[in-house]
Structure 1
């Protein structure tokens, strides 16, 4: 399979943008800046739409490195979001004295579990 150089360059640029958005999201999470968190979510969604059209032939070594960086950043951000959510749930439980009100249904909790 031959690679169209413009496809590879476009994919690299999109992946660079994704890494930048993920870094911005991490900073927004650290600052608990809801507007910036929402902006990052919109940015990630738009970039995912662009990446959906990417062809495997356009993935070169630089793209693989950017993909790896984006995966790692996304995983860290996911873990931070989960910690924040757990903290909020704990505080809500303490206020109402009834943790059952805020528990996910068993099927949802299982689907979200990590092995």
Structure 2
């Protein structure tokens, strides 16, 4: 999972849509295989890897959100009208704090 998340990060950095979609498919396949895992059988080494994967996934999520916000701003500038979607106030507030 860590390797797939690192590949996703590189794909996001290069705006490589095929690689981004490949990483999404890889993440889903790995999540499906981990779905039936027993948390009681996870040792300390696996917990460390899972924590690293969680952190990488969060960084990648933030990068995806930044890219989406950049695209929305550019589209708004080109069209000259506000975006079709606006976050509700609670979500906007949470985003401003984070």
Q: Considering the TM-score relative to the shorter chain, is it more than 0.5? A: yes
Give runs of aligned pairs for residues 50-69 of structure 1, distance below 5 A.
50-69=33-52
User: Which of 5, 13, 25 is equivalent to 1:30?
Assistant: 13
- Count of aligned positions: 95
Which residue number in structure 2 is paired with residue 5 of structure 1? Answer: none
Q: Calculate the TM-score normalised by the size of structure 1.
A: 0.75
Residue number in structure 2 paired with 1:78: 61
Runs of 4+ aligned structure 1 residues displaced above 6 Å come to: none
Match of 1:110 among 79, 91, 97: 91
> What is the RMSD of the two structures over their aligned residues, measured on CA atoms?
1.9
Q: Is the 8 A contact 1:89 1:102 kept in 2?
A: no
> Please, which runs of 5 or more residues in structure 2 have no aligned partner?
none
Q: Which runs of 5+ in 1 are unaligned?
A: 1-17
